Chain A
Amino acid sequence: NAGVTQTPKFQVLKTGQSMTLQCAQDMNHEYMSWYRQDPGMGLRLIHYSVGAGITDQGEVPNGYNVSRSTTEDFPLRLLSAAPSQTSVYFCASSVLQGHQPQHFGDGTRLSIL
């Protein structure tokens, strides 16, 4: 049981490049989400999904796209990277009912030059 797996762990991009951060969970969780963590600002919700085919915006969605074609995977896409997107990104999942605690991946440190 791997839990929540994020890849890559580190990435450096140039401004304007695109990339996809991968997130997979093997716990059959309905709910999945992406956060970014910046110094002094805690974790902020980017996008979330309550099940396959359903996504919605969080607090800071601009510049990011998501899709949820399967229960297991929830990739985060940066279409045109900007220096303001330099951050640590966390994916999380949980059972939807019962407000169970979210399980987090190990994070991806992304630097945009």
Chain B
Amino acid sequence: AQTVTQSQPEMSVQEAETVTLSCTYDTSENNYYLFWYKQPPSRQMILVIRQEAYKQQNATENRFSVNFQKAAKSFSLKISDSQLGDTAMYFCAFLPNFGNEKLTFGTGTRLTIIP
């Protein structure tokens, strides 16, 4: 079974600064997918970014980028020029390439952007 670990329960950063959220996972699979989801106080689960394990290039979505280290089984999320609207819980998630779509989530990191 896969496990996903987010070792930072809470983080805070000043507005406009850069912050990195860490995520590690454990799997014996070679092909899989990794996701970062954002959950603001409204409780919605919003996809932030996605990475395919077979792609060496790190995924980027505007201010959000990842540092994917496959050998180290690490998948960190970097938020540049942080904004007040980035305040949320952030969940890392793992999806194996089995075709059964069973996501495994980490326990989350609560990020607060300070004005």
Contacts and interface: CB of A to CB of B under 8 A. Distances in A.
Query: Do they bind each other?
Result: yes
Interface stretch (A17-25, A75-83, A99-107): A99-107
B105 A43 contact: yes
Contacts, number: 53
Contact of A45 (B42, B102, B106, B107): B102
Q: For B9, B42, B43, which residue has the most chain A Cβ atoms within 10 angstroms?
A: B43
Contacts of A110: none
* Main DSSP-derived SS at the B contact region: loop
A42 B44 CA distance: 14
Interface size bucket, A side? Answer: 20 to 34
Interface in A85-113: 88, 90, 92, 94, 96-97, 99, 101-102, 104, 106-107
Interface of A: 31, 33, 35, 40-45, 48, 50, 56, 58, 88, 90, 92, 94, 96-97, 99, 101-102, 104, 106-107
A104 B33 contact: no
